[in-house]
């Protein structure tokens, strides 16, 4: 078996425990260690892109020859998410080396960060319901702590809100797991899928599916359940916001929903319609709420809701083109949204504020930040050379192809509103003349700039993926195939 698979969980988990032990003795060790571990993980994720297979942890076998124990499953979709999580994680860690100097206790920060990454990798690789739940909770507890890391008024309040809603979501998911186990007698996703295949879902399974949709919808911040996100994401330190908005809501929310809907329960028309509806609603509501915001990070957070809506809408179409577009947009969104949060962090680091009314004229003072922020803004607004354009184009085409012209129109309109609100950010923060008090402002330190440039290059680079064909961009097609393959067969 391929021993690479469990390492995605083991390495960050072990690092999370080693970092406090080592860096109590050596001060700089936590920085070096954090960057090294995340680079290793990013390289491993790139190496794992073409691999696949099922990994039985421990290889335990019952006397009757039935395999027991935990399964990890690496397929195209998991590989795509692993690349996103670990690449964004690397950029965030490089950014934090300088940025986190303002906070106390860096070693605890890195330790929690590693647990968060381990939890997300575990969720993505997990092949059974309960381990998915456990890894989700590891990532969630670490992110609750990271949101409240600053220990100010807002941070604690946001963290508490996130914690309560997150716990309720976890409770729903656990009830769902209990129902699935009761009805099928197994927790392994592949076994559950084969037991459910070929017959309509019974009433208990519909209840379980509804509970899963509510729970993971809450984790993904789709609209009826979005209340925690605009508080929690801006309150966290910038690299953590980048991780939360960039990958946590996807790995813990959208990924699991897609996996369960397409691979385990079999994509029923009703469930897809619910996903589509929630997606369209979040897409519109998110952008409406975003456009009036003056806090830079809060504005970005509302846009996360809106962009997650695009992904859910596209996946909810259920057509091959829709799935490809949704997954492509998910990858793109994780890149440009984390870049946006990092630039907001750099602005806050240099000026001490993120209120758009008090900023201005930063273009001359912080050229790297302004440039990367421009790239990211144009990406999210869907301007042609950048990646956001291609994925939105695929989504709109998929809507038209599926005969849902209203949804296509809504997607285009939301894209225009997104453009408007990002022009506002660009104008007030970077282009408009300085309002005074910005003389002391200097460009962000080199490592922060490096992280931002890296992500900006990725923004331009992933648009090249679309060159291999609109319907199946490279790297995405394998993930889309994993979803379209329908319910899992037994390995």
Partner 1 sequence: MNDPHAKEGMSLIVKTVTRWLKGFLLLYGAYIVLYGHLTPGGGFAGGVIVACAFILVFLACGAGIGHRTLGRLAASELDSAGALIFTAVGALGIALGGVFFRNFIRTPPEAHFRLLSSGVIPVCNIAIGLKVGTSLFMVLAILSAVHVAVKGGRRRMVRRREDKS
Partner 2 sequence: MIYALCLMLIAVGLYGVVVKKNVVKIVISLAIMEYGINLLLILVGYRAGGHAPIMEPGASPAEFAAGAVDPLPQALVLTSIVIGLGVLAMMVAICIRLYERYGTFDITEMRRLRG
Q: How far is CA 265 from CA 2, 132, 258, in A?
A: 28, 16, 10
| Residue from the set 31, 137, 348, 477 that interacts with partner 2 by CB under 8 A | 137
Rg, the chain, Cα only = 21
Q: Tell me whether residue 114 or residue 193 sits nearer to partner 1 (CB atom).
A: 114
Task: Choose the stretch contacting partner 2; rule: CB under 8 A; options: 181-189, 345-353, 411-419, 480-488.
Answer: 181-189
| 34 Cβ contact list (under 8 Å, min separation 6) | 15, 19, 93, 96, 97, 110, 113, 114
The residue among 63 and 436 lying less far from partner 2, judged by its C-beta, is: 63
CB 336 within 8 A of CB 388: yes
For residue 308, give both structure tokens.
């997650």
CB nearer to partner 1: give 49 or 56: 56
Of 104-112, 132-140, 448-456, 478-486, the segment contacting partner 1 by CB under 8 A is 104-112
Q: Does 469 bind partner 1 (CB under 8 A)?
A: no
Segment lying near partner 2 (by CB under 8 A), choices 24-32, 163-171, 319-327, 454-462: 163-171
- The alpha carbon torsion through 229, 231, 235, 240 (nearest 10 deg) reads 0
How many residues touch partner 1 under the rule CB under 8 A: the total is 21
DSSP 335-349: HHHHHHHHHHHHHHH
Angle at 256 between CA 185 and CA 228, to 5 degrees: 120
Least Å distance, CB 226 to partner 2, is 9
Q: Does 59 bind partner 1 (CB under 8 A)?
A: yes
Partner from partner 1, partner 2, none contacting 13, C-beta within 5 to 8 A by type: partner 1
- Answer yes or no whether residue 182 interacts with partner 2 by CB under 8 A: yes
Question: Does residue number 268 form part of the binding site for partner 1 (CB under 8 A)?
Answer: no
User: Of the candidates 1, 32, 164, 416, which one interacts with partner 1 according to CB under 8 A?
Assistant: 1
Longest Cα–Cα distance in the chain: 77
- Whether the CB-CB separation of 309 and 229 falls below 8 Å is answered with no
Continuous H helices in 24-104:
29-47, 76-99
To the nearest 10 degrees (0 to 180), the angle between helices 405-425 and 387-401 is 160
Query: Count of alpha carbons within 13 Å of 439, Cβ hemisphere only?
Result: 2
Shortest CB 35 distance to partner 1, Å:
20
- Binds partner 2 by CB under 8 A, chosen from 134, 400, 412, 434: 134
Min dist. Cβ of residue 434 to partner 2 (A): 29
- 202 CB-near residues (< 8 Å, 6+ apart): 183
**Residue whose CB is less far from partner 1, 25 or 203:** 25
Q: Is 18 a residue that touches partner 1 (CB under 8 A)?
A: yes
| CB of 18 or CB of 206, closer to partner 1 | 18
Candidates 128-136, 249-257, 353-361, 475-483: pick the segment binding partner 2 (CB under 8 A).
Answer: 128-136
- Tell me the three state secondary structure of residue 302: helix
Asked if 55 is part of the footprint of partner 1 (rule: CB under 8 A), the reply reads: yes
x/- letters, 108..127, toward partner 1 (CB under 8 A): x--x----------------
Q: Summarize as ranges the residues that interact with partner 1 (CB under 8 A).
A: 1, 3, 6, 10, 13-14, 17-18, 20-21, 24, 55-60, 104-105, 108, 111
């Amino acid at each position: 078996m391929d021993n690479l698979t469990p390492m995605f969980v083991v390495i960050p988990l072990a690092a999370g425990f080693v970092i406090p032990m080592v860096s109590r003795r050596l001060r700089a060790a936590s920085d070096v260690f954090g960057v090294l571990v995340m680079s290793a993980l990013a390289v491993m994720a790139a190496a794992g892109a073409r691999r696949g297979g099922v990994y039985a942890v421990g290889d335990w076998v019952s006397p009757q020859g039935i395999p027991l124990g935990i399964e990890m499953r690496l397929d195209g979709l998991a590989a795509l998410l692993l690349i996103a999580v670990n690449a964004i994680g690397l950029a965030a860690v490089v950014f934090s080396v300088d940025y986190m100097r303002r906070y106390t206790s860096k070693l605890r920060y890195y330790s929690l960060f590693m647990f968060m990454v381990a939890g997300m990798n575990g969720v993505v690789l997990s092949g059974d319901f309960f381990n998915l739940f456990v890894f989700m909770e590891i990532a969630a507890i670490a992110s609750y702590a990271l949101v409240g890391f600053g220990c100010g008024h807002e941070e604690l309040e946001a963290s508490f809100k996130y914690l309560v809603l997150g716990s309720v979501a976890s409770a729903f998911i656990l009830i769902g797991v209990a129902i699935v186990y009761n009805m099928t007698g197994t927790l392994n996703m592949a076994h559950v899928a084969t037991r459910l295949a070929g017959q309509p879902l019974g009433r208990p399974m519909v209840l379980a599916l509804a509970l899963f949709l509510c729970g993971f919808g809450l984790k993904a911040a789709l609209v009826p359940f979005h209340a925690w996100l605009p508080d929690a994401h801006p309150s966290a330190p910038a690299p953590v916001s980048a991780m939360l908005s960039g990958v946590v809501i996807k790995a813990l929310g959208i990924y699991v929903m897609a996996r369960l809907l397409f691979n385990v329960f079999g994509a029923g028309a009703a469930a897809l319609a619910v996903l589509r509806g929630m997606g369209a609603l979040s897409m519109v509501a998110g952008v409406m709420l975003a456009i009036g915001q003056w806090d830079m990070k809060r504005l970005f957070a509302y846009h996360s809701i809106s962009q997650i809506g695009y992904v859910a809408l596209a996946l909810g179409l259920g057509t091959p083109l829709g799935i490809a577009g949704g997954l492509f947009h998910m990858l793109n969104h994780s890149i440009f949204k984390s870049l946006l949060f990092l630039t907001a962090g750099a602005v806050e680091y240099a000026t001490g504020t993120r209120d758009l009314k008090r900023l201005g004229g930063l273009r001359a003072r912080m050229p790297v930040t302004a440039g990367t922020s421009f790239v990211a803004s144009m990406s999210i607004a869907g301007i042609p050379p950048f990646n956001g354009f291609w994925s939105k184009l695929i989504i709109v085409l998929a809507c038209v192809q599926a005969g849902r012209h209203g949804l296509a129109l809504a997607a285009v309109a939301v894209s225009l509103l997104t453009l408007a609100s990002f022009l506002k950010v660009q104008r007030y923060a970077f282009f408009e003349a300085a309002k005074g008090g910005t003389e002391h402002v200097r460009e962000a330190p080199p490592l922060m700039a490096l992280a931002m440039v890296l992500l900006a290059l990725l923004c331009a680079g992933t648009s090249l993926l679309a060159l291999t064909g609109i319907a199946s961009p490279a790297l995405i097609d394998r993930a889309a195939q994993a979803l379209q393959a329908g319910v899992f067969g037994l390995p």
